Amino acid sequence: MTYFPEVETWRIPDAAMVESLAEMARDGREGREGIVLWLGRRDNGAAEISHLVVLRGKGIVKEPDLLIIGAELMNDVADLAIELGVCLVGQIHSHGKLYGTNLSPTDRKYGIVVPFFLSLVAPDYALRPDTRIEECGVHIFEPSIGYRRLTPPEVLARIRVVCGESVPVLTVGEGE
């Protein structure tokens, strides 16, 4: 058994997309990138998003073209995941109009490097609440090659946005 089992499909409640876009838009209105971490479970080749984590306080830096999450804040996220019996399975962050939906060199160099981790990039600082997953850059960390952007047919085949389920939004960090 491996600690990071292979994931072929991801199940994302539509509420997770709606809440994630709304959270990132808070920063987008200020001209900064935003981020939401996705907690969930991996089982039998599938990952399911069960909780959203928003980050606050001194442990996170949000700039027009940069996000930095401090180690202490990530430790707090890990503690929360352990407490809930889930793990970090993905994240969504936003880029501004000039930056596109590919992972930036900084995203690739300093981003989370975990086998089969899902990394989405929302366009336009997430200021369009009706943004669909197909409009985002959808990337998966594959152990043998690193991050790879999924093609549109792969997104349709591997990512399932499902209706009707609420997702708890948890805050980690101080302030705001």
Q: How far is CA 142 from the centre of its chain?
A: 16
Count of residues for the chain? 176
Q: Which two tokens stand for residue 20?
A: 């994630």
Q: Domain segments of the chain: what residues? A: 9-173
Helix (H) or strand (E) holding 173: strand 169-173
* 140: β partners: 118, 148
Tens place of pLDDT per residue across the chain (176 aa): 566 789 999 999 999 999 999 999 999 999 999 999 999 999 999 999 999 999 999 999 999 999 999 999 999 999 999 999 999 999 999 999 888 999 998 888 888 889 999 999 999 999 999 999 999 999 999 999 999 999 999 999 999 999 988 999 999 998 65
CA distance 56 to 34: 11
Residue of 46, 25, 48 lying closest to 36 (CA atoms): 25
Is the CATH number 3.40.140.10 carried by domain 9-173? Answer: yes
Q: Which amino acid appears at position 158 of this protein?
A: R
The residue to which tokens 């202490």 are assigned: 72
Please tell me the distance from the alpha carbon of residue 139 to that of residue 88, in angstroms, as a whole number: 15
What burial letters (b/e) apply to 129-167, b meaning 16+ CB within 10 Å?
eebebeebbbbbbeeeeebeebeeeebeebbebeeeeeb
Q: Note the maximum CA span of the chain.
A: 45
pTM of the entire predicted model: 0.95
CA distance 150 to 54: 25
